[in-house]
């Protein structure tokens, strides 16, 4: 998931249209100098070539619409039909998939948030396990940060027919990464299930994050129980997930089913005003208070 504060200015004009291959784009006639970010929703399969073509088209549309940074969801590279296929299709950061995205970022002069990527672990030849990695690429095509998902999704919901054990084939990341200074603000990196752990977002917030990102590919059963956040911009590129402002107001989404993107203004002044009017960080107690029950 992404915690990413985004502002849709009420005076902006939005145009919605359908392309020949069925995605929708929400475009904005710019009326201010506030930076634009693009939040993308895609439907990925095991066909990596088709997935890249779909994502590339969205990135190109975002650039055309004036976005300076594009956020793609978890599993943007592919979604395997089973564990064996998921592992077989994985790559290293030096593989073809990330190389193509670095070239795309450099060609278009745009920042990319790619999460989560199926990254082969250091001991792949013997271990056969992967990381779930969130990668930031700058507008010159350089990888500036890689966060490897720290909280793995192991769940057994017998009543809903959900049984997942991410830890059986995924290595948990070892640490958080500092927020990345981007054209739309300081971006803190998470992935999907990480959102359930407030300690992660609070740590990133303490280190200056203005945008918290949690690219996600939820199951239907668990994803339906989504939430809203307050105090930062919330950006959650994933099917049917809205964009939420610092007060928890839903500002827009990409619709329920079709792949597409939404262009949104990132008004960091509103974030600063909100933090000034409701100074949550100043109201927090010391660590001893929160550990007093222990």
From residue 86, alpha-carbon distances to 129, 131, 149, 198 in Å are 10, 12, 16, 29
The number of domains in the chain is: 1
Q: One of 74, 91, 119, 210 is an active-site residue; which one? A: 74
Name every residue whose Cβ is closer than 8 Å to that of residue 124 and which is 6 or more positions away in sequence.
92, 130
Q: CA-CA-CA-CA torsion for 260, 73, 70, 250, nearest 10 degrees?
A: 70
Q: What is the mean pLDDT of residues 219-243?
A: 49
pLDDT in tens, 140-169: 999 999 999 999 988 877 777 777 889 999
Query: What pLDDT score was predicted for residue 235?
Result: 53
pLDDT confidence tier of residue 274, bands split at 50, 70 and 90: confident
Q: How far is CA 83 from the centre of its chain?
A: 23
Could you give the percent of the chain with pLDDT greater than 70?
Answer: 76
Residue 109 main-chain phi, psi, to 5 deg: 65, 50
Active site residue 254: no
Q: What single string gives the DSSP state of each residue in 203-218?
A: HHHHTT-SEEE-----
Query: What pLDDT score was predicted for residue 29?
Result: 41
| E strand or H helix at 163 | strand 162-165
Q: One of 40, 44, 55, 192 is an active-site residue; which one? A: 192
pLDDT in tens, 97-132: 999 999 999 999 999 999 899 999 999 999 999 999
Q: One of 44, 119, 149, 254 is an active-site residue; which one? A: 149
Active site residue 210: no
Please, which residues bridge with residue 7 across strands?
A: 265
Average pLDDT over all residues of the chain: 80
Active site residue 44: no
188: left (phi over 0), alpha (psi -120 to 50) or beta: beta
Query: What pLDDT score was predicted for residue 93?
Result: 98
- Domain of residue 66: give its range: 2-290
Read off the CATH number of the domain in which 119 is found.
3.60.110.10
pTM assigned to the model:
0.82
């Amino acid at each position: 998931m992404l915690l990413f504060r985004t502002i849709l200015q009420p005076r902006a004009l939005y145009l919605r249209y359908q392309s020949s291959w069925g995605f929708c784009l929400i475009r904005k006639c710019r009326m201010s100098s506030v930076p634009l970010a693009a939040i993308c929703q895609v439907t990925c399969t095991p066909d990596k070539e088709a997935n890249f073509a779909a994502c590339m088209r969205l990135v190109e549309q975002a650039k055309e619409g004036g976005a300076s940074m594009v956020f793609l969801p978890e599993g943007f590279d592919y979604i395997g039909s089973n564990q064996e296929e998921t592992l077989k299709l994985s790559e290293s950061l030096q593989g073809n998939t990330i190389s193509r995205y670095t070239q795309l970022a450099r060609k278009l002069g745009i920042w990319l948030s790619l999460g989560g990527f199926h990254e082969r672990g250091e001991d792949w030849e013997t271990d056969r396990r992967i990381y779930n990695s969130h990668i930031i690429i700058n507008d010159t095509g350089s990888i500036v940060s890689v966060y490897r998902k720290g909280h793995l999704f192991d769940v057994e919901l017998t009543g809903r027919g959900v049984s997942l054990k991410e830890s059986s084939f995924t290595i948990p990341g070892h640490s958080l990464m500092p927020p990345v200074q981007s054209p739309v603000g300081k971006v803190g990196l998470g992935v999907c299930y990480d959102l359930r752990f407030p300690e992660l977002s609070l740590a990133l917030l303490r280190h200056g994050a203005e945008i918290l990102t949690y690219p996600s590919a939820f199951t239907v059963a668990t994803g339906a129980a989504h939430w809203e956040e307050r105090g930062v911009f919330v950006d959650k590129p994933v099917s049917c997930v809205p964009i939420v402002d610092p007060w928890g107001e839903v500002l827009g989404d990409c619709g329920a089913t079709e792949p597409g993107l939404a262009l949104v203004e990132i008004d960091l002044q509103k974030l600063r005003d909100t933090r000034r009017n409701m100074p949550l960080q100043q109201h927090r107690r010391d660590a001893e208070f929160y550990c007093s029950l222990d």
